[in-house]
A and B are shown apart, each in its own frame.
Chain A
Amino acid sequence: MRGTALARFAANRAAVVAAGVLVTVTAAAVLAPWLAPHDPLAVDLMNTLAPPSAAHPLGTDHLGRDTLSRLLFGARVSLGIAVTSIGAALVLGVGLGLLAAWHRGLVDAAFVRVMDVLLAFPDLLLAIAVVTILGRSQASTIVAVVVFSLPTLARVTRAAALGAVAHDFVLAARAAGASSRWILARHVLPACLTPIVAQATVMLGSAILLASGLSFLGLGVQPPDPEWGAMLSRGRDMLRAAPLGAVAPGVAITIVALSFSIAGDGLRDALDPKG
């Protein structure tokens, strides 16, 4: 079963390329301290907005910091935020979705109402509300992405779990006297994993886009930390003098967001060939 899913994923050329890109970017993020030619925070005011050279392959920014080094360290920050927040949203969202599907009735009705309200906010507005409450920081960016992705993940879980709890094996487990928690963890959750994993992968891309958008506006990761969106926030002013500094982080965001979306779709197709 697992072998065939893997074979189906391997046959999907775009998904394989996307997965390769993600592995490479993750490796670059992890290895940034060894790969980066310079300290990403080292200011060199004698050498600002420098064009690409052997010492600075992507040039320098308005403070003379090496763009390539900031891009590599930025991968850590951007991917770190995305993975942390989607991980937290998964734990909360899957828990809530399972509970709603299991208890039905009032719990489910309340769940649907609350998720409807959260989904009614355009993504950036919800993030702005969160940042207003918690202040501008990397931590509140993570909370904002959690609040944004939670309703979608919870909904996907609920929908899948509603189908799963109707299965005979759940009825049988109930009849055999298994506890709710046991049934949910051992029987219902494994049956829902496919859509949840696929959705979470796609949402990692949305998380990168939202977090970098917030940082671009100055509401997310604060200077001098290298984050891809934050690197672009001075981009407009540097556009004429150092276009590469404004091009590179945007290319990075687009490629990573694109790869998550392609890989997520490929994962869905590979795990669930019917859908």
Chain B
Amino acid sequence: MAGAAGLLARSLAAAAGRTLPVLAGISLLVFLIVHAIPGDPAVIAAGLEAGPETVERIRRDLGLDRPLPVQFASFVTRALQGDLGISIRTGLPVAQEIADRLPFTLLLAAAGAVVATVTGLSAGLLAAVFRNRWVDHLVMSLTLVAVSTPSYWLALMLMLTFSLQLGLLPSIGIGTPAHFILPIATLGLQSAGLVGRMTRATLLDVLKEDYVRTARANGVPAARVLWRHALPNALVPITAVIGLRFGGLLAGTVLVESVFAIPGVGRMMVDAVLARDFPMVQGGVLVVASLYVVVNAVTDAMAGVLDPRVRA
């Protein structure tokens, strides 16, 4: 067990080594957003009606009069200390605004990942067991449709069916736990498609391996072969896909939060773009993209530990 812990630590350290340059690149891109906007950022931040003194004050306040590398260094230093600047629209710290909304987004993405995993794994398992039979064809067609369906449209159709026609669930808002069922189902079902396809493909590969054939030849029942031999070995690539999908889920919350009027970070970013509230856009993109990269690095490290070939 201590060996596993040490392995995880080493695996995490390696993942951190790969991740830090990417995080640095992300902050550079996010930092450059404001400077890439055509026009003077100070004027944009101050608003069109502001006088020259206000513009100059804002330029000094934001440090826009200093050289770019210095500005970037201070952007990163402050971000690491949890200071993401002040929202132009609300006048509140961006970090505070994000902290207020992040729980909704994380809840949606995490619960969506659980739904995706459970549904996708079961679907992929079914398809692999009933390979080339009608169950397989049905599951594979459904997963393909799921992957190609826009999440916001799936959301609208679920809303049309379960809220408007059947009256079973609330449509928009966050009043009760029931309000979160449709958004989570939307995110989960969409990602379940990819998880299902990956599960089927991996299982079929594993079922061709020698040890599976040996187990079968030794008279191990088919169900036991599947549960004890095939599935555990198929989990590695499946974990990786779920980790990758988490980024899709985080980004997907942007659309789903907008449809269901959930006050998460995704909706906040859309509102911020519409209001040209740059610090808010920067903060949101930085936090969500970094989260995605970190989650991916952790699932990568975990997949490494899960892989018996690495463990041995």
A212 to B276, CA, bound (A): 21
Query: Residue A122 contacts which of B37, B250, B273 (CB distance < 8 angstroms)?
Result: B250
Cβ of B156 under 8 Å from chain A = yes
Whether B160 pairs with A239 at a CB distance below 8 angstroms is yes
A-B contact count (CB 8 A): 132
Q: Is the interface of A mostly helix, strand, loop or mixed?
A: helix
- Nearest-neighbour CB distance to chain A for B95, whole angstroms, equals 18
Q: CB within 8 Å of A: which residues of B?
A: 21-22, 25-26, 28-30, 33, 36-37, 144-145, 147-153, 156-157, 159-160, 164, 172, 247-248, 250-252, 254-255, 258-259, 269-270, 273-274, 276, 278, 281, 285, 288-289, 292-293, 296
- Nearest-neighbour CB distance to chain A for B270, whole angstroms, equals 5
Whether B288 pairs with A218 at a CB distance below 8 angstroms is no
Question: Total interface residues on A, using CB and 8 Å?
Answer: 41
Whether A131 pairs with B273 at a CB distance below 8 angstroms is yes
A235 to B147, CA, bound (A): 21
CB-CB under 8 A from B172, the residues of chain A are: 236
Whether A113 pairs with B25 at a CB distance below 8 angstroms is yes
Whether B164 pairs with A132 at a CB distance below 8 angstroms is no
> Given A117-B26, A229-B150 in contact, is the A122-B270 Cβ separation under 8 Å?
no
Cβ of A121 under 8 Å from chain B = yes
> Given A120-B292, A129-B30 in contact, is the A218-B270 Cβ separation under 8 Å?
yes
A250 to B144, CA, bound (A): 15
Whether A125 pairs with B285 at a CB distance below 8 angstroms is yes
CB-CB under 8 A from B36, the residues of chain A are: 133
CB-CB under 8 A from B258, the residues of chain A are: 216-217
Cβ of A209 under 8 Å from chain B = yes
| A-B complex: 10 closest residue pairs judged by Cβ atoms | A117-B25, A122-B251, A250-B153, A258-B148, A257-B148, A124-B251, A122-B247, A133-B36, A254-B149, A132-B281
Most central of B156, B270, B278 by chain A CB within 10 Å: B156
A197-253 interface (Cβ within 8 A of B):
205, 209, 212-213, 216-219, 229, 232, 235-236, 239-240, 243, 246-247, 249-250, 253
Residue of A nearest to B249 (CB): A122
A111 to B196, CA, bound (A): 33
Whether B164 pairs with A125 at a CB distance below 8 angstroms is no
Cβ of A108 under 8 Å from chain B = no
A239 to B172, CA, bound (A): 13
**Given pairs A125-B251, A133-B37, 14 additional interface contacts (CB within 8 A):** A113-B21, A120-B26, A121-B26, A125-B285, A128-B285, A129-B33, A205-B148, A213-B150, A219-B273, A236-B156, A240-B164, A254-B145, A254-B148, A261-B147
CB-CB under 8 A from B145, the residues of chain A are: 254, 258
A131 to B28, CA, bound (A): 17
CB-CB under 8 A from A133, the residues of chain B are: 33, 36-37
CB-CB under 8 A from B254, the residues of chain A are: 124-125, 128, 217
Cβ of A269 under 8 Å from chain B = no
The 0/1 profile, CB within 8 Å of B marked 1, for residues 244-275 of chain A is 00110110011001100110000000000000
> Given A122-B292, A218-B274 in contact, is the A239-B25 Cβ separation under 8 Å?
no
Whether B25 pairs with A209 at a CB distance below 8 angstroms is no
A240 to B159, CA, bound (A): 10
Whether A262 pairs with B270 at a CB distance below 8 angstroms is no
Whether B25 pairs with A124 at a CB distance below 8 angstroms is no
Whether B144 pairs with A120 at a CB distance below 8 angstroms is no
A50 to B159, CA, bound (A): 21
Residue of A nearest to B30 (CB): A129
What are 18 sample pairs from A and B whose C-beta atoms fall under 8 A apart? A117-B28, A120-B289, A124-B251, A125-B251, A131-B273, A212-B150, A216-B258, A217-B254, A217-B270, A219-B274, A229-B152, A232-B152, A235-B153, A235-B156, A243-B160, A246-B160, A247-B160, A261-B147
Residue of A nearest to B21 (CB): A113
- Nearest-neighbour CB distance to chain B for A218, whole angstroms, equals 7
Whether A125 pairs with B148 at a CB distance below 8 angstroms is no
Cβ of A114 under 8 Å from chain B = yes
Cβ of A44 under 8 Å from chain B = no
A113 to B26, CA, bound (A): 11
- Nearest-neighbour CB distance to chain B for A144, whole angstroms, equals 12
Residue of B nearest to A122 (CB): B251
- Nearest-neighbour CB distance to chain B for A118, whole angstroms, equals 8
Whether B255 pairs with A213 at a CB distance below 8 angstroms is yes
CB-CB under 8 A from A254, the residues of chain B are: 145, 148-150, 153
Whether A258 pairs with B144 at a CB distance below 8 angstroms is yes
A235 to B289, CA, bound (A): 29
